[in-house]
Structure 1
């Protein structure tokens, strides 16, 4: 098939980054992400591994240089490692980087294989190092399991970045110590504002912590120097002089970054979302099953022609979520 045109949306933004949710399932139930009782997609509705790979390879052919595998928790899908092996072969052949975001619970088992398959760095979601707080946030998780996974990843040669959702009244007091712990152990830390995606069992306004406030607090303890580094995503970075590590901030509410959006998201069901904060999507599963890659190209083009300029996130008491789907559907 002839090479299709580059991926440019109607606002002139070039798409270089594809996030793939390989499953909507997760073995944790983080309070800001999921309801305690979730209904997941039947397995027969999911894209087959071969279909995910073909769609991802088509995106690479059209100019995507970074792919991140997400979930839910990607490592709970049994064939996720097979997908890593296949896409890992594309690194250096159009794809610059294959990465993964994981909650770390199964990382001790799979870290070595991920490294062998071509993954060079991963993001690990860790909102607290305190066992009781971690168990409360995740509803039943064991933080020791995650810390063991992080150790295994570093031993396998993977660069690890810690992702931490800043939660008022839950983990805000831990942010300075986690920044110091991460930096001392050669890991960067990215802080994330909670996002209004999907109905949960709490009011997000009670836990929303503006990163502008967090940054001001951290600046009183650490020397933070603006760093032009970019990982290809929305984070803005500062170098922490005391440790040499980086602090990243993802602030969709207090520091909107949509003008530079370079991302689209493929769900495990085959829906392509061009914005995390909107419901607009095209069905790539239907496209690939009825018309092959030509139909996939046409559907992608239609999605980019409708990509919104920005999200409309707002966290106000009693407000409905920006979209009905949970974060686990389109990837954390």
Structure 2
């Protein structure tokens, strides 16, 4: 699945680089979006399927954030210095470079994916429609805002193209703090309290980033937004992996997120054109809170064994939760079709 996704993505990026009209550009982006969605779903499912999900997630997030920071600066620079559309060629090369890494992905779950697991434990893997819609909406909001962050930074704050790119790149790297602080804060204060605080902070930071005209405030808001978003994503993936160690739930959420990522720029652009930045900031903050509600419920449910899981005699919920690997380090939100 990952190899096919990389091939589709590379073809889509090449098509976008060669596009000379809007129709061809849109079709190429549909192809590359489908490919990246497949890569994202398969790769995040693999995190939950490894024997050591914590280690795999830590390695993944460090690599992803580092490469993404370079691309945030490299793609605009390529478009500016080498010609418009050259950034697509750079992304196609990334797809080619990622292909050899696919061999390291697990080809199946670490636990049995059908029937009872661990002497009678049955894992529920089918996510609810509300959960999928909430995930799609959250990614629509966050990725839509991210796609216009550079434009808003230049227009509202007067910063140069390179300065805005540097700010967004730095915010992505500093967001690693969110991945480190998230699990510690969740254990100390409780997952529900942690998620509620960080979701609220993320919503406010996103609104401030859209509304502010001050470069310093824009920079602080970008860093806070990315740190909170990554911390929330860490807990969401951890809960999904805890509820379903086969990786199916994580893959389903990733697929819904990929759809939201594709819709995000269109939806945010429409609101920005029709109502302006002031209304957009409010819509983004409100949408973040609403979309996070079903994810909060799933995350809290992942703290203990859900009642719908059938436990064999002698197996308790807490012991099951201790045996199921969780994704404690998460994966960068920029690792998506919106990148």
- Please give the TM-score of this superposition, normalised by the length of structure 1: 0.27
> Which structure features the higher share of helix residues?
2
> Which structure features the higher share of strand residues?
1
Greater C-alpha radius of gyration: 2
Q: Relative contact order (alpha carbons < 8 A, sep ≥ 6): 1 or 2 greater?
A: 2
